[in-house]
Amino acid sequence: MFKKLSDIIDFVYGYMLFKAYFFNIKTNVCNMRYPNESYARKWREFVRSLNVDALNKALKLVIEKADTVFSGVLNIYDCFDRASYFALIHPDHPNITLGFVKDADLWDMWLTDGIYKIVREVIAEVADISNGDKVADFGCGSASPTFYGTLVGSSGIYTGIDYSKPLLNLAYVRIKDEKIADRVNLRREYVDSKLVFRRSYDVVICSSILQYVDLKSTLTNAVNALNGEGTIVVFSETFSDVDPEKTKLFELYYSLIPSFKKFPSIKEISEILDHICDYRYKLIDTHLLKIEVNNR
């Protein structure tokens, strides 16, 4: 399972690198002025770093990993590509459909299938989530509550926290349909605001969320949710100090998402945790960080 996740992200990187190459050809962004010069400037910086070796590597990745790709995994990345053209016109162009609130229906489709479905399965395996566990999910979206709520069973508890009301509404309908509302709590809050937890959790999930939030506040909340002991699992499409090459390309596209800040580094995460808890961590497959907290 771990190998599968890594292969898919490698494939996505190669695919998006080719998208970037053709974006440059179609827009001539290095030689033309565009209304949104801020975004155009980012592209110029990236394009100037492109070389034949990088494109050959991308082609190799796409060919080698193509057999591992699941249905729907590229949908969101095709949307990134389309949005890039409109972003040259205006940063808030209505055809940039990547907002967690405004475009919740699209995010629901992407979160339900493709890469995020695979990530949920990997996290459940890494954290060994099973019947009776108490799980807090930071940035839960619309699809994770049903998945993890089912895993924790009738004797477990799942709490999903997200600021997008439309995504939470979709999640609420599903947990009612699955008849698991008795064990699933949904909270509409920002995960980097001051959070209060009335119970202790065994596992805190931070999946594809740290790039949008204040890192210190979010990790402090995650440690507090464990109340001294437990597991934090972090998934990131890229950690900036593990794979800076991927980070450069992904940040170019992910900057189109409202509230995007930057992809985290393991060094930043470690430095924050050093000041708030005793812990040890293991990097799994370059995209998953398993953090064991033990303050007792």
Find where tokens 């430095």 sit: 271
Q: Is the pLDDT of residue 71 over 70?
A: no
* Domain map (residue ranges) of the chain: 2-107, 128-240+260-294
Three-state helix/strand/coil letters over 167-184: HHHHHHHHHHHCCCCCCE
Q: Is the pLDDT of residue 191 over 90?
A: yes
Measured distance CA(11)–CA(21) in Å, rounded: 16
Choose the CATH number for 128-240+260-294 among 3.40.190.10, 3.40.50.150, 3.30.2010.10, 1.10.760.10: 3.40.50.150
Mean local confidence (pLDDT), 188-208: 97
Q: Is the pLDDT of residue 2 over 60?
A: no
Query: Residue 176: its pLDDT value, please?
Result: 96
- Provide CB contacts within 8 A for 171, sequence distance 6+: 140, 141, 142, 143, 144, 145, 146, 160, 186
How many of the other CB atoms lie within 10 Å of CB of 289?
Answer: 23
**Cα–Cα distances in Å, from 246 out to 49, 54, 281?**
13, 11, 22
Query: 25-29, 58-62, 145-149, 211-215 — which is least confidently predicted?
Result: 58-62
Measured distance CA(155)–CA(94) in Å, rounded: 45
pLDDT in tens, 77-107: 999 999 999 999 999 999 999 999 999 999 9
Structure tokens given for 171: 């999640």
Structure tokens given for 105: 């229906």
Q: Is the pLDDT of residue 248 over 60?
A: yes
Mean local confidence (pLDDT), 226-242: 96
* pLDDT class of 3 with cuts at 50, 70, 90: low
Higher confidence at residue 228 or residue 281?
Answer: 281
Q: What sections of 193-239 are H helices per DSSP? A: 215-226
* pLDDT class of 70 with cuts at 50, 70, 90: low
